[in-house]
Amino acid sequence: MKVAVVGATGLVGTKMLQVLAERNFPVTELIPVASEKSVGKEVSFKGKQYKIVSMVDAIAMKPAVALFSAGGDTSKQWAPEFAKAGITVIDNSSAWRMDPTKKLVVPEINADELTADDKIIANPNCSTIQMVVALNPLHIKYGCKRLVVSTYQSVTGTGVKAVNQLMNERKGIEGEMAYKYPIDLNVIPQIDVFLENGYTKEEMKMVNETKKIMRDDSIRVTATTVRIPVMGGHSESVNIEFENEFTLDEVKSILSSSPGVVLVDDPATQQYPMPKDAHERDEVFVGRLRRDETQPKTLNMWVVSDNLRKGAATNAVQIAEYLIGKGLI
């Protein structure tokens, strides 16, 4: 099928092309789309070169599906135009996530909500995706009552500019700053802009998206999101208060058999998930499982995933694969 990748030259767009190739997605014709200044340049896919085209030209070429990773403003302007032409859009920006008329999908959890009428489908925030993949099987068994999450997010979540800032600082080179402060040898407790309630937009994304994806508005979520000087892979410390009692052995058994989850949890041999181990992997890695000894029915866990893959590109491609498998596109 014809597949458009909108934002094909960005970090996530480039990763989408890689994931499409790796998973042998049935691409008969690739339509790479980027900003006007990139039109006419070429991208490589499966050993062939493809010319970047404009939005208007891409719509005229009638792809079956368009994977968007070009920012919220671009998506708000152009996703409806693609949808009007009968093209299914899977959008990686925050533009449509909390729109009540749009589905917010992590395939392992709620792909069953999708229908042929869903022409704009939202891909969740990277930090939310990895948390809910680990959380949902436990929620089904024990019922999540309250979550306290602190994230440790890599610079690739910001983009190329942030990667360049980190590498320039490591080399002692002055350059363009993605952040207000140095990121090398530093930790910045702010991701996205601050809102009136004192939380950042990223923190509130985790609060609101979790409830929507897991289909349970009663879950209470509070988050602190932090940028760290790591090149790729987000890490999260998650404290979960359940409605029902659990045993650690049962939790480990559930996670070990959950799709998309890898359990790495052996304190005796210092085995636990780290960003470097999640690099270029599609799974969500979970470890440091232990009871919260300060209150009943409460679990601590550590969750790590590659934010450009499962946190963005892979999740979008998995949504498209589900749609194909169900004959919805």
Query: Active-site residue numbers?
Result: 126, 234
Distance between CA 11 and CA 5 in Å, rounded? Answer: 12
73-101 in b/e form (b: 16+ CB < 10 A) is ebbeebbeebeeeebbbbbbbbbbbeeee
Taking CA 190 as the corner, what is the angle to CA 183 and CA 306, rounded to the nearest 5 degrees?
70
Distance between CA 127 and CA 115 in Å, rounded? Answer: 26
Structure tokens at 321: 């694969």
Taking CA 131 as the corner, what is the angle to CA 127 and CA 136, rounded to the nearest 5 degrees?
145
Distance between CA 91 and CA 71 in Å, rounded? Answer: 9
**Residue 268 DSSP one-character state:** G
Report the relative pairing of strands 48-51 and 29-33 from DSSP bridges: unpaired
For residue 82, the surrounding DSSP H or E stretch is helix 72-84
Whether 251 and 299 have beta carbons less than 8 Å apart is answered as: yes
Q: In DSSP terms, which residues pair with 227 in a beta bridge?
A: 153, 188
